[in-house]
């Protein structure tokens, strides 16, 4: 996961501050959405079994309990290792996309370094297909990695790209995805609609993170919300359906209240208190 300047990782998830060096006071959009947890135990079990079955050391370890236990421990960590590897890849791809936008905005950028990092990890396919998407959609960037704030509800987040496409202002979120068995880039989870709806409801956009200056958010109306799946084999672009946005926003609002209750419980360290029988 990329790290915007005002984002701080805490025990309560990623949170945002108003200025660099000050305390984090609101949760990130993704932290709030994370309250809607998925049961990944089945996937984790599959990853563990898959890792063990594909381990070349398995056959020679069947008669050695100590070595077999070592393989089982390694396999148990397969899901976590896969998640961490995917997150690192996502960071590299997002960084390339950000640098590409900064170059187009005639701002300071590190595009050659971002490209070199992808090349070092055999991931140039992501850059190639991202560049084709940029050209095909005639992207006119307005802002890259725009950090936004909603004071009324109490959250913040960072939008991958604000741009003009086909004459319309778009809020765009990139999702790095793998390729399915048919050779198609996998579609993003529909939770991204909630993420985009929350971004659209922002009230302010940061101007200077060092100084802590903000301006009114200008892109909350008449805006297209797009999720772009970026893969090594291609890209796919999805529109968040406008009719569904109120419901996704309502769910986000409920999750924000859930996060606040959990945060307050954690801060108070409230727990069961054992009592003794009443005196006779």
pLDDT at 195: 97
**How many Å apart are CA 192 and CA 198, to the nearest integer?**
10
- From the list 191, 219, 270, 209, the residue with the least C-alpha distance to 33 is 191
Q: What would the pLDDT profile of 85-110 be if each residue is shown by its tens digit?
A: 778 898 999 999 999 999 999 999 99
138 φψ region: left (φ > 0), alpha (ψ -120 to 50), beta (else)? left
Q: What would the pLDDT profile of 111-134 be if each residue is shown by its tens digit?
A: 999 999 999 999 999 999 999 999
Q: What would the pLDDT profile of 174-187 be if each residue is shown by its tens digit?
A: 999 999 989 899 99
Binning pLDDT at 50, 70 and 90, where does residue 56 land? low
- Quote the tokens at residue 77: 């960590």
Instruction: Indicate whether 2 pLDDT > 60.
Output: no
pLDDT at 81: 67
pLDDT at 54: 67
Instruction: Indicate whether 1 pLDDT > 70.
Output: no
Higher pLDDT, 44 or 13: 13
Q: What would the pLDDT profile of 202-231 be if each residue is shown by its tens digit?
A: 999 999 999 999 999 999 888 999 999 999
Residues 69-89 have a mean pLDDT of 71
Residue pointed to by tokens 């976590």: 80
């Amino acid at each position: 996961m990329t790290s915007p300047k005002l984002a701080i990782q805490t025990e309560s998830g990623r949170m945002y501050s108003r200025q660099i060096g000050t305390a984090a006071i609101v949760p990130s959009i993704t932290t709030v959405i994370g309250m809607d947890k998925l049961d990944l135990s089945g996937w984790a079990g599959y990853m563990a079994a898959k890792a063990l079955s594909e381990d070349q050391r398995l056959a020679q370890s069947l008669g050695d309990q100590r070595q077999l236990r070592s393989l089982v421990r390694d396999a148990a960590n397969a899901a976590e290792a896969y998640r961490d590897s995917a997150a690192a890849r996502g960071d590299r791809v997002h960084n390339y996309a950000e640098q590409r936008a900064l170059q187009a905005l005639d701002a300071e950028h590190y595009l050659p370094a971002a490209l070199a990092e992808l090349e070092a990890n055999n991931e140039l396919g992501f850059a190639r297909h991202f560049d084709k998407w940029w050209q095909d959609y005639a992207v006119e960037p307005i802002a890259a990695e725009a950090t936004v704030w909603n004071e009324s509800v109490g959250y913040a987040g960072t939008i991958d790209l604000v741009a003009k496409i086909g004459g319309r202002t778009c809020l765009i979120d990139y999702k790095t995805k793998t390729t399915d068995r048919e050779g198609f880039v996998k579609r993003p989870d529909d939770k991204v609609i909630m993420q985009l709806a929350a971004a659209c409801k922002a009230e302010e956009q940061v101007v200077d993170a060092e100084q802590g200056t903000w301006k009114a958010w200008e892109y909350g109306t008449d805006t297209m919300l797009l999720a772009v799946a970026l893969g090594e084999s291609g890209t796919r672009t999805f529109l968040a359906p406008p009719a569904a946005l109120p419901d996704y926003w309502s769910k986000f609002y409920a999750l924000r209240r859930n996060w606040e209750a959990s945060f307050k419980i954690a801060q108070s360290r409230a727990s069961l208190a054992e009592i003794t029988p009443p005196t006779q």
